[in-house]
Structure 1
Amino acid sequence: MTRTHPRRHAALALLIVATAALQGCDLQAGESARAAAADHRSPDAASQRITVHHKLGVTEIGKPPRRVVALDMNEVDFLDQLGVPIAGMPKDFVPRYLAKYRDAGEVTDMGAIVQPNLERVHAAKPDLILMTSLQARHYRELSEIAPTIHFDVDYRDSRAQHIEIIKDHLMTLGRVFRKEALARQRIAELDAKVEEARRITRGRPEKALIVLHNNGAFSSFGVRSRYGFIFDALGVKPVSPTLETGLHGQPVSSEFIQQANPDIIYLVDRTAVMEHRPALNAETLGNPLLRQTNAWKNGRVVFADPEAWYITAASVNSVKLIIDDVIKGYRR
């Protein structure tokens, strides 16, 4: 019979106890580490969630979206400003400054701006959809496909805080895509452009009229209209400060324009956009009554960029192009 030495037995017992204690410590340390990691993840995950309040509801977004569908050209312009890839967009009316998306095969055509193809939107498997009031009636259906953000711009009356609304939306998208520094940079550039226009219009006596051309007919836009921000934010003086025209403008005759006799005319050619025709210019606008205005006589009829003014007009790039046109009216 083999006899175990008492000292060796005691040492073995101590080793077993110590090993168990160490294992217990390791397990406890492991549990503590996992708990700490969980505690770290929870607030971090919560802090990464972005809550966006808009006129149609509240939208929550977790990690930065990877597949984005933009249903309005203003939204496409916002994403372009932030360098965010676009999975899908309507391609019926794409301005030239966003043409690279129209021609890109990886960007799915979502149909028409005013009537997007919801089946195509669903098939694109977006994790974020961007829309405006033009698609508002589809908000519920779109929200069932993916988180959907409504851009709260008022196309009927842009006088009230139009530039601020654009900047706020850009900053919201900057938060959503973790591109806040770039969003702030773009906002600073827009602010500088607005201030440039205000420096030029400040103290100037000229009065301007914004006219939309549609197949030979004209509509005017005043201080409470889709172009109200030109008078409010940019400091342009209107021919009639009481003219209220809303989204589509007030139909006016050539005689009205002649009698109003504006010092500056900004002419937006809707026909060129909607029917893909060459835009009007000084040679092709053969209207004898308009030629009798001070604006025409002094070379201050500005044939505005119809894509920036009519297709978009509520995004960074389009507003900067509009400001360029506004400034032209004071430099001729």
Structure 2
Amino acid sequence: MRTTARPLAALALPVTAVLVLSGCGGDADAETAAISETEMVTFTWDRNVAGEDEDPRYEETTVEVPKNPEKIVTFDIASLDTIGALGGEVAGAPLESVPDYLQEYLAEDAFNAGTLFEADLVEIEAQQPDLIVVANRSAALYEDLSEIAPTVDLSLRGSYTENLERTATFLGEVLGAEDEAAAALEEIDAGIEEARAATADAGTGLGLMVSGGELSALAPAGADAVGPAVRGGLIYDVFGVEPAVEDVEAATHGEPVSFEFLLETDPDTLWVVDRDAATGEAGTQPAAAVLDNEIVRQTTAAQEDQIVYLDPMAWYIVFGGLDTTQIMIDDVLQIAE
């Protein structure tokens, strides 16, 4: 990730002063026009305007949002993370999806805005927010929500670190916390470099998702990947893990893999995400129990005690935000202990 000392060529966030004039009735000699100055932050991004079953089609979209908004609603948990880390708070969110470590960033009277995929439009309109944030899972809500309040789409697309920088810089400006955002990004940048140095000495690796007792191998993401694909490639693309298989997608045919596949590819380290733990799926085995079998015990990763269990909420639900990225860095640095 570029440090904050370098120019952000892909991001233009000019701040303009908007004068709002208001008047009041009374004696003409006593009257004056009250002038209040409200600073606005302009955010421009490429929004996917394609239909649900269509190939992505992007259109440049610009929205002006008020600086220091009193009431923020976000459907993007990663943005809730960053808002809170920069000293702000969120008035409304899909409360059931907010992990414990981010609860403190909710306002005391925070309201439930819906789910990660569906908005409670009536409640949101009643709350009269000043800013609404959507992202990958909730991007389809943009049109409806933008009729209620200024709405920005912070969907993750392409480089994870560039997206994190863009989002933190924008939200830092909105919250009047530009210096805090710059310092946090610098710290994250240093942490990722430390983690990459650790993985450089760790041999090959395989990202593995466990769900319902089945295994899925994770693959590096492409340059134009969005949401889930970026999430799946984090361990390679951000943290520099060398894939145990040259082309993971081709080797797995996009299907769940077997325990024998783990033995056949024999990565030096297994990086495991327990999806069921992240989603709260009932009646399923923990990932550690699923992998506790005779075949897996024969792998190099098991014999060298190099099966790393990643924080499931951070890597599957949130996968973004300042605090969450630090959790990811700490997870990866387990191999250096």
Structure 1 residue 130 and structure 2 residue 121: aligned? no
User: Distance between the aligned counterparts of 1:276 and 1:98, measured in 2?
Assistant: 20
Does residue 1:92 correspond to 2:96, yes or no? yes
Tell me, what secondary structure is at the counterpart of 2:70? coil
Q: Percent identity, aligned pairs only? A: 32
| Alpha-carbon distance, 1:153 to partner | 0.7
Alignment-derived partner of residue 302 in structure 2:
296
Equivalent residue in structure 1 for 2:218, among 208, 218, 221: 221
- Residues 11-31 of structure 1 deviation map (CA, whole Å, 9 limit, x = unaligned): xxxxxxxxxxxxxxxxxxxxx
TM-fit CA distance, 1:242: 2.0
Q: Which residue of 1 aligns with 2:11?
A: none
2:117 to 109, 114, 132: 114
Question: How far apart in 2 are the matches of 1:88 and 1:276?
Answer: 25
Matching residue of 1:273: 278
Q: Which residue of 1 aligns with 2:311?
A: 305
Unaligned runs of 5+ residues in structure 2 are 1-31, 48-60, 222-228
Distance, in Å, in 2 between the alignment partners of 1:271 and 1:63 is 39
Which residue of structure 1 lines up, in the alignment, with residue 72 of structure 2?
68
176-185 vs 219-228, which moves further? 219-228
Alignment partner, residue 269 of structure 2: 264
**Residue aligned with 1:83, SS:** coil
Flag the 1:99–1:266 CA change in 2: closer, same or farther, 3 A.
same
> Does 2:311 correspond to 1:320?
no
The question of whether the paired residues in 2 share the 8 Å contact of 1:64 and 1:177 is answered with: yes
Distance in 2 (alpha carbons) for counterparts of 1:95 and 1:205: 30
Q: Which residue of 2 aligns with 1:184?
A: 182
The Cα of 1:79 is off from its aligned counterpart by 0.8
Q: CA 1:152/1:83 → structure 2, altered by over 3 Å: closer, same or farther?
A: same
Deviations 1:191-224 (A, max 9, x none): 111111122233x261111111111011111112
Contact 1:213 1:268 in 2 (8 A): yes
Opposite residue 114 of structure 1, the aligned amino acid is F
Q: Computing the radius of gyration over CA atoms, which structure comes out larger, 1 or 2?
A: 1
Which letter maps to 2:68?
P
More strand by share: 2
Root-mean-square deviation (Å): 2.5
Contact 2:113 2:120 in 1 (8 A): yes
On the 8 A contact 2:210/2:287 being kept in 1, the answer is no
Which secondary structure does the structure 1 equivalent of 2:273 belong to? Answer: strand
Which amino acid in the other structure matches residue 201 of structure 1?
T
Aligned to 2:203: 206
Instruction: Provide TM-score, normalisation by structure 1.
Output: 0.77
Show the counterpart of 1:53. 44
What is the CA distance between 1:284 and its match in structure 2? 6.7
User: 1:153 matched to which residue of 2?
Assistant: 156
Q: Which runs of 5+ in 1 are unaligned?
A: 1-33, 155-159
CA distance in 2: counterparts of 1:173 and 1:273, whole angstroms: 26
Shift of 1:105: 4.5
Q: Residue type matched to 1:99 in 2?
A: Q
Is residue 55–residue 152 contact of structure 1 (8 Å, CA) maintained in 2? no
